């Protein structure tokens, strides 16, 4: 798609219901992000996401996806300890979920692991910039690569991931000109989130862009719907109708 100048459309997805909807709407990549731990499980960070949790959600997404590529995030500490553990854990994800690829965070320090996974036949997507599994080391959820030194490191990280065999990479929360430089320097596609318009594709966290997670606001998130409001209104109407005896009516009941 990059070679053909076609933009890649990605969204996070955590269950079969939405997977069917997104797949049917033509989304190219369904990313089962470890953001599920925050968005659906209510945790403060992604750090406590487990392999079991990711396998459960990825298996569900895979059941709902006929055409889209399904990518599963490897959670914190499932790929950093050793290459052997990374292969075992990523292999489990591939075997038990039927997904097409895994994603992991980091640059040069994980390039050897990316190579080891690719060598055993596991497609790997990288993730650079704001890497949420390192949120405490980064001092918070903030834009990365604003200074020359970090920008140069991110460029070298991107090259290292490509050379290690990654097939694509997420660029999260980095200045648009830097994302543009990295995207131009790579043959593999970049998928941006808060990284400007020059990336080869875009990803957003689904409940954020649907306005379902209406407590979360960020400059880079465009809301394409206001589902939280729709849900609140629908549930209030249902509650009122039940309380007032207006639901169920004869049309919802079985006479015999």
Residue 64 and residue 227: Cα distance in Å, rounded?
21
Residue 136 and residue 1: Cα distance in Å, rounded?
35
Q: Tell me if 9 contacts ligand KIV by CB under 6 A.
A: no
Q: Tell me if 110 contacts ligand KIV by CB under 6 A.
A: no
Q: Which of 22, 186, 205, 210 binds ligand KIV (CB under 6 A)?
A: 205
Stretch that binds ligand KIV, among 33-41, 54-62, 91-99, 173-181 (CB under 6 A): 33-41
Sign of CA dihedral 7, 8, 11, 16: positive
Q: Tell me if 113 contacts ligand KIV by CB under 6 A.
A: no
Q: Which of 11, 58, 71, 73 binds ligand KIV (CB under 6 A)?
A: 73
In the region spanning residues 118 to 137, those forming contacts with ligand KIV, defined by CB under 6 A, are 127
Helix (H) or strand (E) holding 97: helix 83-97
6 as an active site residue: the answer is no
Beta pairing class for 8-12 and 201-204: parallel
* Cα dihedral 136, 42, 97, 123 in deg (nearest 10): -30
Q: Tell me if 33 contacts ligand KIV by CB under 6 A.
A: yes
Size of the site for ligand KIV (CB under 6 A): 12
Q: Which residues pair with 193 in a beta bridge?
A: 172
Q: Tell me if 179 contacts ligand KIV by CB under 6 A.
A: no
Helix (H/G/I), strand (E/B), else coil: 221: coil
Q: Which residues are catalytic?
A: 172
Residues that bind ligand KIV (CB under 6 A): 12, 31, 33-35, 73, 127, 170, 172, 193, 203, 205
């Amino acid at each position: 798609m990059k070679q053909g100048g076609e933009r890649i459309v990605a969204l996070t997805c955590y269950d079969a219901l939405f997977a069917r909807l997104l797949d049917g709407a033509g989304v190219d990549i369904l990313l089962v992000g470890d953001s599920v731990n925050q968005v659906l499980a209510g945790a403060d960070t992604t750090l406590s996401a487990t392999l079991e949790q990711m396998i459960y959600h990825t298996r569900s997404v895979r059941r709902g996806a006929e055409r889209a590529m399904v990518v599963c995030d490897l959670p914190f500490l499932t790929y950093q300890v050793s290459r052997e553990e990374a292969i075992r854990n990523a292999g489990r994800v591939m075997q038990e979920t039927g997904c097409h690829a895994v994603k992991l965070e980091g640059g040069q320090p994980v390039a050897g692991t990316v190579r080891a996974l690719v060598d055993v036949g596991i497609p790997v997507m990288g993730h650079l910039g704001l890497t949420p599994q390192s949120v405490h080391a980064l001092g918070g959820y903030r834009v990365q690569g604003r200074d020359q030194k970090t920008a140069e490191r991110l460029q070298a990280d991107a090259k290292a991931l490509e050379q290690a065999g990654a097939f694509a990479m997420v660029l999260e929360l980095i200045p648009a000109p830097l994302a543009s430089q990295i995207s131009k320097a790579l043959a593999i596609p970049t998928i941006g989130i808060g990284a400007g318009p020059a990336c080869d594709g875009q990803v957003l966290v689904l409940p954020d862009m649907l306005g379902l997670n209406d407590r979360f606001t960020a400059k880079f998130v465009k809301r394409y719907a206001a589902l939280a409001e729709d849900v609140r209104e629908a549930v209030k109407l249902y509650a009122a109708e039940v309380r007032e005896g207006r639901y169920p009516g004869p049309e919802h009941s079985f006479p015999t």
